[in-house]
Structure 1
């Protein structure tokens, strides 16, 4: 009888996660007719994996209006073909720009945009954040905040999202702009530069200890962006440094050998892919129900 075992190993920890994306503080102006080469020549934010490249920036719609633009190219160099392009993620008078990208090479693509106000127009990004941790911009206007969107990598269509913003003591929204993005297991980790005051996972303002703005702030979201699993900011609620995240590696052993062609699932979350690509499994219960799939066979329970 063949024995299958999951080997769970504690890895070095970090404040972000196993896989980092790209974030810029200087979103580049792009046009509808960009090629991969022209976008790269302009210094646009780019995320490349193999023959796939995602590009992000903004369109100058009017003299006072900017809208985010994201696009996907398949292929390399002059042979790259634009698979899709989205210019309608936020099509309002709000200044909004795409500033962050992360992709796992499979089905998980997240995009970060910044906005400087809210809108009730039909084209607002808020139509994607109705089920998010924070559903809207909040009160006031002017401070730049972040919106995280989960996007279908095959079509460019967002299916869910959340605002990420700070809040003043009078209830008005305050600035929170992204500085880094990462995957940690099944979670999305966003690090920000926040002004007073960042929010806890329960959406309440943190208690300020000391020091001037801005403050490093990290939020860890579930895959749907509906809930924040962790939220820590330096100089708030007794936090001096952003704590490191626990990290584990999962391998499937078939007899005495590792099967790098298997897909390993923990609590319905894929933590290891075929072809030897082992993903950080993030935070989960090692005793949780596990399953595996060898090549294209029917998934089997792992005892």
Structure 2
């Protein structure tokens, strides 16, 4: 019988944990914003305090998975921030010390495949399906075929932290900054189209768009006017394109403190949420999707399934 297992996703903005039992049922799911990718796009190395916050979080997660009976079935995967950092060995050594296992850096292709595996079958949508994962430093676009297999995927150097640090520095951003940010997103999407085309895939051919990760789930919570984050109501929620565009404009016009005052916005997300919203809304608008379906199941679920 498969034993209990734990998966950790170390992203640019947050560190997340999923623990499941031998039958794949969830024991615990946690998220902590540590902003590991702060300044990596600009400086090329990891910030000392952000690295320590991340390692402290992983150490706390180890206590949780140990208490849940997880022994050797642990997978710790890092994405954009660690891929881009010149001093990534500091991260690997620190994780080995606090967690007792080695972390791995996922390629953009691996990240996309695991995200699709975790998300596409978790919500009720019409195939073929496209999945978008707006992270802190990168955004993955995955197109599946009618049979549910990945037809093509791309990983863009584009995420809520990266976009905000590069183009949305003013609080709230100036009109010229928003124009530049939109242009930057569109340039990356041009590259994504070319990359998918080389694989024989076309995002515009998908009938459904599923969005995962913190930007999408927070936007769904705001669309539903939830006073606080409620996973049960967010999973499977549909956000119409018109509502997503309106919400993006509203967030871009707010200051970080005004965004922080919105009930479901987790502390630490308020200063980059508008950047993530801009990325997601441009994807939905560019490919003419009527709505975005939000899934709480994502790369974490794919990582945990890979340990079965």
Give the TM interval when normalised to the shorter protein. Answer: under 0.3
From the two aligned structures, give the one with the greater helix fraction.
2
Q: Normalising to structure 2: TM-score of the pair?
A: 0.27
From the two aligned structures, give the one with the greater strand fraction.
1
Higher relative contact order (CA 8 A, sep 6+): 2
Higher radius of gyration, 1 or 2:
1
Q: Normalising to structure 1: TM-score of the pair?
A: 0.27
